[in-house]
Amino acid sequence: MKIARFNADRHFLTLISPYLTNQTSIWLLTTDIWLLIMSTLEAQLQQKNAQLAAIREISRAIAEAQDLADTLDLITRRTTEVMHVESCSIYLYNQSRDKLMLAATTGLNKAGIGEYYLPHGAGLTGWAAEHRQVVAITNSFQDVRFYRILGSGESKYPSLMAMPLVSRDKVIGAANVQTVARHDFTEDEIELFRFITELAATALEKAQLVHAAVVREMHHRVKNNLQTIAMLLRLQMDQGKKLSPHDILNETINRVLSIATVHEILSEAGVEKAGALDLIKRVSATISANMVNPAANISVIVTGNNIELPSQQATSLALVANELLQNALEHGMAGRTEGRIVIKLVTENGQLRLTVSDDGHGLPPHFDPDTNLGLGLEIVRTSVVEDMQGTFRLGPAANGRGTLAEIILPM
């Protein structure tokens, strides 16, 4: 708007200049030059503010880097915007292949992410990574170092600037920017891109380290859960009560599905915590679908507070909920065509309270919870008392009909 006003002012001065004195003309000319300088400075200030905003956002990515793909996407998008280019691409070094792999891009064919590779030192971007130097070429197609990746769509970008991504004196990849129109990259643009790639290298190394730690943690957790299932199968073998192969397989399937539900929730929300109520709802839905006769009118209701729990505690709680629900369905609702099971999760006085009540057959006469627990309830007591330092109680429901299982855990 100000530049348009300035052009209008210049047109007006041109029209009236023949009628002005020399002194007035000089004054107006000085004003004219001053307005031009101010407009130029204002444009430069706006550009610098945009650059600083992009750098701040990339800096935040360094501090918050968790997901590698999101970090790469943010860096390429903001670099494209702030440098006024049509494409920004990041290649990461793949040690097993000794190649640079396309990891993110705004202008190339996105189907090539994870698929396109630059051999070691190949192309202008590979050369920049190998020699740890900036490459800024107006017409890259005429450069002997140019390397074409078929199908990438790079043939529409003649001008290219590439820089290595170096973190702690180690090359972890390379980045480039490209333009549709031929462009001579200025020293200011080179300096800005160098600063962005330095920030990006730090962010990417952090994101890669976090990703590696997450993978290790997930492998460790899966291994522990598989060992838990193996332990349960051994206990089942040693159990005095004889079960049919069908019953054993069905119970094992339910336990595996409960643990799988934990991993499903953790994959959606992260690896550290899971919402306990959401977890129990999913476990209940899975077990009900697997055990309840579709012709029977047996409802399973889950209510309470959605409490965030550490992943290991969430896994133990899933197994506990699975065993209690299986027990209620297998014994409390055996042979019944209708019934009701209520699972409630609340927090009281800094403690977590889980109850599973049913209106079924109730406990058998002379039931002793210290000696009459089957494998499933033994798993519950061991998990609650030994693993989670909580308390477990099993007895008649408050109204005298059915059974109530109560678990209290420290938060």
Phi, psi of 86 (to 5 degrees): -95, -15
Q: Please calculate the CA angle 12-13-15 and round it to the nearest 5 degrees.
A: 65
For residue 195, give the amino acid letter.
F
Contacts of 375 (CB under 8 A, 6+ apart): 232, 235, 236, 239, 241
pLDDT at 4: 46
pLDDT above 80 (res 78): yes
DSSP collapsed to 3 states, 122-149: CHHHHHHHHHCCCEEECCHHHCCCCCCC
pLDDT 10s digits, 239-270 = 555 556 666 666 666 666 666 666 565 555 55
DSSP code per residue over 225-292: HHHHHHHHHHHHHH-SS---HHHHHHHHHHHHHHHHHHHHHHHHH-SSEEEHHHHHHHHHHHHHHHHS
How many percent of the chain have pLDDT more than 90? 17
> Is the Cβ–Cβ distance between 151 and 112 less than 8 Å?
yes
User: Whole-prediction pTM value?
Assistant: 0.46
CATH of domain 241-410: 3.30.565.10
Token digits of residue 202: 């730090």
d(CA 352, CA 406): 11
Rounded to 10 degrees, what is the CA torsion of 244, 245, 251, 256? Answer: 170
Please compute the mean of the pLDDT values over residues 354-370 and round it to a whole number: 77
Which residue ranges make up each domain of the chain? 65-210, 241-410
Q: Which of 225, 226, 207, 227 is nearest to 215 (CA)?
A: 207
**How are beta strands 159-167 and 273-275 bridged, if at all?**
unpaired
pLDDT digits over 126-159, tens only? 999 999 999 999 999 999 999 988 889 999 999 9
Alpha carbons 205 and 198: distance in angstroms, whole number: 11
C-alpha–C-alpha distance, residues 262 and 345, integer Å: 17
Residues present in the chain in total: 411
List, for residues 197-235, the tens digit of each pLDDT value: 887 777 676 665 555 555 555 555 555 556 556 655 555
Q: Which residues of 39-57 are buried (b: 16+ CB within 10 A; e: fewer)?
A: eeeeeeeeeeeebeebbee
Q: Name residue 342's beta-bridge partners.
A: 301, 357
DSSP 297-337: EEEEEEEE---EEEHHHHHHHHHHHHHHHHHIIIIITTT-S
Query: In the prediction, which pLDDT does 347 show?
Result: 85
| Amino acid at position 399, single letter | N
pLDDT of residue 6: 46
- Which CATH number, 3.40.640.10, 3.30.450.40, 3.30.200.20, 1.10.10.10, labels domain 65-210? 3.30.450.40
pLDDT at 306 (0 to 100): 81
Q: What is the pLDDT of residues 267-320, one digit of tens each?
A: 555 555 667 788 788 878 877 777 777 777 888 888 888 878 776 677 677 778
Distance CA 112, CA 297 (A): 53
Assign 57 a pLDDT band (cuts: 50, 70, 90): low
pLDDT at 332: 79
- R_g over Cα of the chain: 34
What pLDDT does 16 receive? 47
Paired strand residues for 410: 351
The rounded distance, in Å, linking the Cα atoms of 316 and 336 is 30
Q: Is 105 helix (H, G, I), strand (E, B) or coil?
A: strand
At residue 143, the pLDDT reads 93
Q: Residues 82, 87, 90, CA angle at the centre, nearest 5°? A: 95
> DSSP 3-state assignment of 383?
helix
- The pLDDT assigned to 292 comes to 75
User: CA-to-CA distance for 59 and 71, rounded, in angstroms?
Assistant: 11
Candidates 376, 407, 135; CA nearest to 232 is 376
SS3 content of the chain, % helix, strand, coil (to 5): 55, 20, 25
- pLDDT at residue 86, rounded to an integer: 95
